[in-house]
Amino acid sequence: MEAVQKKRSFLSNLKLQTYLMITPTVLMIVLFGIYPILYVLFYSFTNYNGMSAPDFVGFTNYIRVLQDSSWWLTVKNTFQIGIVVSLIQVPIALILAIMVSGKLKASGFFRAVLFLPSITSTAIMGIVFYFLFASYNGYVNEILIAANMIENPISWLGDGLMAKGVIVSFLSWHDIGFFMLLFLAALQKIPGDVYESAKIDGANTLQTFMKITVPMLGKMFQIISMLSIVNALKLFDSVKSLTNGGPGSDTEVMTMYIYRYFFENTGIPQQGYASAVSIVATLIVGGVAIIYLLFTKKMNYED
């Protein structure tokens, strides 16, 4: 009797506590997450130009998006850059995290230094990279010529493929420290004695890595790599300051296309269309993430 009563009051208390604890988050999500999406969704069905009253145009904007070859080109660019960047960032970040997780001397120093780039502003450091990779008098070219590795300066930012490579390098430079940190925190969870028993069993570094570290990182690995992909898909500052979409439209990414239609285009602003493009972009990014999560479900060793 008593036990049941205790449980009941405990339960209702539990519900209250639960709801109270999540109230701030829910409130903020509704106001700053749901509302903006509805707002953008609304305008995507209009021909809003930013100032006059909008007229409804139904699905016209969406049909236009589907047929807009320039848009799909940016989607392709975004994915190309995003996939390559993630493939580089995640493994290297993990390896670095393992290396600095404490056994070596000065690991604290390495941790701090490797993290430095990610606290700089991408907009400004992008410019620095622009100057480093410039065709005329750029640092990289000058060094390569001085070391007799190349004869003529390479046009790093003048060729579509090379420009994407420079962007990938810049993003890796900037973000690997960030992901390393996330992995570090995740690594803390793995109990030390697991490693010790592995060593006693004679496992070498590679086996330890593949059979113990990766699986036990489990959900965190999944989340971190998804973050890496989603971050890459939402690129803006870096590309804008490094290449501004150039040469031509070869490195224009999705966000830049949207930004262009909202703020930069000549003529009357086409915010209705830009809103529709934003919705499509969000769906694409969301779709990718969902596919990724389903794909990597088997990583959840905790469950």
Of 72-91, binders to other proteins (CB under 8 A) are: none
Q: Which of 3, 25, 201, 294 binds other proteins (CB under 8 A)?
A: 25
Q: Which of 39, 56, 72, 295 binds other proteins (CB under 8 A)?
A: 39
Q: Which is nearer to other proteins, 113 or 150 (CB)?
A: 113
> Could you give phi then psi for residue 56, rounded to 5 degrees?
-75, 135
Report residue 88 as tokens. Answer: 């580089």
Q: Does 110 engage in binding with other proteins (CB under 8 A)?
A: yes
Give the angle subtended at the CA of 148 by the CAs of 146 and 150, to the nearest 5°. Answer: 105
In eight-state DSSP terms, residue 34 is I
Asked if residue 242 lies in contact with residue 167, where contact means CB atoms within 8 angstroms, the answer is yes
Q: Number of residues in contact with other proteins, rule: CB under 8 A?
A: 131
Q: Does 66 engage in binding with other proteins (CB under 8 A)?
A: no
- Give the residue among 295, 282, 285, 248 at the shortest CA–CA distance from 41: 282
Name residues contacting other proteins, limited to 228-287 (CB under 8 A).
230, 234, 236, 243-244, 246-249, 255, 258-259, 262-270, 273-275, 278, 281-282, 285-286
Q: Which is nearer to other proteins, 80 or 259 (CB)?
A: 259
Asked if residue 159 lies in contact with residue 239, where contact means CB atoms within 8 angstroms, the answer is no
Q: Does 8 engage in binding with other proteins (CB under 8 A)?
A: no
Q: Does 127 engage in binding with other proteins (CB under 8 A)?
A: yes
- Long-range (24+ apart) CB contacts under 8 A made by 109-117 are 111/180, 111/181, 111/184, 114/176, 114/177, 114/180, 115/177, 115/178, 115/180, 115/181, 116/177, 117/173, 117/174, 117/175, 117/176, 117/177
Q: Does 101 engage in binding with other proteins (CB under 8 A)?
A: yes
Q: Does 96 engage in binding with other proteins (CB under 8 A)?
A: yes
Stretch 203-222: interaction string toward other proteins, x if CB under 8 A? --x------------xxx-x
Q: Does 58 engage in binding with other proteins (CB under 8 A)?
A: no
Q: Does 303 engage in binding with other proteins (CB under 8 A)?
A: yes
Name residues contacting other proteins, limited to 163-202 (CB under 8 A).
163, 173, 177-178, 181-182, 184-193, 195
Asked if residue 101 lies in contact with residue 184, where contact means CB atoms within 8 angstroms, the answer is yes
Residue 280 Cβ, how far from other proteins at the closest point, in Å?
11
Q: Does 63 engage in binding with other proteins (CB under 8 A)?
A: no
DSSP secondary structure, 236-268, as one string: -HHHHHHTTT-STTTT--HHHHHHIIIII-SSS
